[in-house]
Amino acid sequence: MGYNVFGYTVGLKPSELKNLERFYRRRVPSASIISHELARELAKVSADLNRQVGLLINRKGEIDYVIVGTFNRIEIPELRGYRDHIARLKGLRFVHTHLLTSKTTHSELDQDDLIDLALLRLDLIGALEVNPNGEPGKIHIAHIIPNPEFFAGGSLSDKENQFFYFLRPCYVWELKENFLELIKNLEDELERVKPLKEVEEQKDRAILIFLREHNDPHLEGRAFELRELARTAGVTVVGEIVQKKTSPDPRYVIGKGKLLELMILALRNRANLLIFDRELTPSQVRAITESTDLRVIDRTQLILDIFAQRAKSKEGKIQVEIAQLKYTLPRLRAKDDAFSRLTGGIGGRGPGETKLEIDKRRIKDRIAKLERELEKISQERDIKRKRRKKLAFKTVALIGYTNAGKTTLFNTLAKSQYLAEDKLFATLDPVTKAIRTPNNQVFLITDTVGFIRNLPEDLKKAFKATLEELYSADLLLHVVDISNPDFENQIETVNQILEEMELLHYPLLMVFNKIDLLPPSELQLLKALSNRYQAIPISAKKGDNLDLLLTKIEEKLFKPPLEYPKEEGLEPVSLEEENPSKDPLTHKLDV
């Protein structure tokens, strides 16, 4: 039977390779981490080669991999055919040598060792010191802590002690630990601390990853929003990681230390999905997926997945597919294992693996075909708008940040029952209804898709047909969730999108919704904010102040512009024309 020696074998003689291959015939007693005889042989071979040598040993005591490295580094090859479940250890332990010199008297486990232990979910890792004469020194052993309270003590920093337990360094013949008993205790503890037992195994359990650059004042707002996006997508958030860095790591976004912390957190919480709060490059997705063996998506794909769930109409489905294909197109490369783990996003929705296998030309053809269909739908919408204009109906378009309560307000005013949930992007397809005011005036109100900060550009373009409804509106009703601590940033985001869409000059009325969620102590502040933003405070859910809102809408839509009294030789001039410096969106006429 032939055996392979893995790692850096360049420059090794055939006789040296044969010596390494002999390790495959050795066996370790099942209760032992490593036998004294095997440790002596491992130390001698390592000293003769002047390279690190490592053994991956399974729980039966059989040696599955013999690996050779350089003097100060060794790399474990890709492991296939072993346990892949994130909540289980791999079933392998790694014992390798650390070569001492005349100037070094000991060599502990280094960060690379701990990263291997965490990322590969090894049973344990051991570093055997090798003296210059080839004799084995002390062995340093560590294993993952399933629960921070499981063990106490340790020899490295406090942070590392949260994740790893370090056995007291000793000579191999002094090892007293029963290996099988130790592993059973570890896996029992992993099972005992299993979180969220009510979460079904097939559901996604995610860890959210944030990058905090400098003093980021919006981190809390971004974190809350990503949690809400995950909840809307049907994902359970089981942990969060915040990396403070001046700039993202080009390969992993976060540093190697945080990557290690991420893997321990994933193991403890049985996470199977990583969600990054920024757009990742294809190479970053690939690198993180290969290193962690977890599915990786970014904020953009998460939003696309939500839209894929919410799209019900033909138009909505076309818009979502266009955006997904445009997102996928630059990410198409050789079909590797990293992309097979993507499975199209949350729960396998989205373009999916079959579409990832389509070549770029066919994807471009598909996009072109869908865009033609969307253009046709856009033309049909335009005909409907022109028909409404002929009927001389005034139109109000509801706009605002996602989950501000636009659909609830729409349902209350129109006495309809469209889906309104406390989730982001509950409304995707626009709907229009007629409303009658207390003074018997009739206008049309249109509910539109909510805005969000850093909305993916492809999504903006794909939903152009939906947002075209805004251009035919006589009044934009900006609904704000005043109970959200981040409401001012949300207002700014909506204004930025309106500016991009060249809609800032349109007549606009701001509405502060969800006043019923404010504590009584903030009512005075609400009054000041309403004056500052010239907003109407309402509760769409409870119907508070809706009569006032309808009166204000009626004033904006139907009241003729004020004119000065006619004088001989002078034409009537509107007050707005006399005050060109005043912003027509916020200027309130004193009648």
Question: Which pLDDT belongs to residue 419?
Answer: 64
126 close to 33: Cβ distance less than 8 angstroms:
yes
Question: Which pLDDT belongs to residue 385?
Answer: 65
| SS3 label, residue 160 | helix
- Structure-block tokens of residue 53: 């040598």
Question: Which pLDDT belongs to residue 571?
Answer: 43
pTM for this model (two decimals): 0.72
Question: Which pLDDT belongs to residue 156?
Answer: 39
Straight-line distance from the first to the last Cα atom of the chain, in angstroms, rounded to the nearest whole number: 98
319 close to 466: Cβ distance less than 8 angstroms:
yes
Report how far residue 109's alpha carbon sits from residue 468's, in angstroms, rounded to the nearest whole number.
61
Report how far residue 464's alpha carbon sits from residue 572's, in angstroms, rounded to the nearest whole number.
39
Report how far residue 491's alpha carbon sits from residue 527's, in angstroms, rounded to the nearest whole number.
17
Count CB atoms within 10 A of the CB of residue 428.
24
Tracing tokens 């995950």 back to the chain, one arrives at 230
Q: What is the pLDDT of residues 10-31, one digit of tens each?
A: 999 999 999 999 999 999 998 9
Question: Which pLDDT belongs to residue 134?
Answer: 92
Q: What percent of the chain has a predicted confidence (pLDDT) above 90?
A: 27
DSSP class of residue 429 equals: S
Question: Which pLDDT belongs to residue 96?
Answer: 96
Report how far residue 348's alpha carbon sits from residue 341's, in angstroms, rounded to the nearest whole number.
9
434 close to 420: Cβ distance less than 8 angstroms:
no
**pLDDT lower than 50: segments of the chain:** 1, 151-159, 196-199, 334-344, 354-355, 562, 564, 566-591
Tracing tokens 């019900």 back to the chain, one arrives at 312
User: What distance separates the 2 farthest-apart alpha carbons in the chain?
Assistant: 116
Q: What is the pLDDT of residues 539-562, one digit of tens each?
A: 998 989 999 999 899 888 887 654
Question: Which pLDDT belongs to residue 420?
Answer: 64
237 by Cβ neighbours in 10 Å (0-12 / 13-18 / 19+) ranks as buried
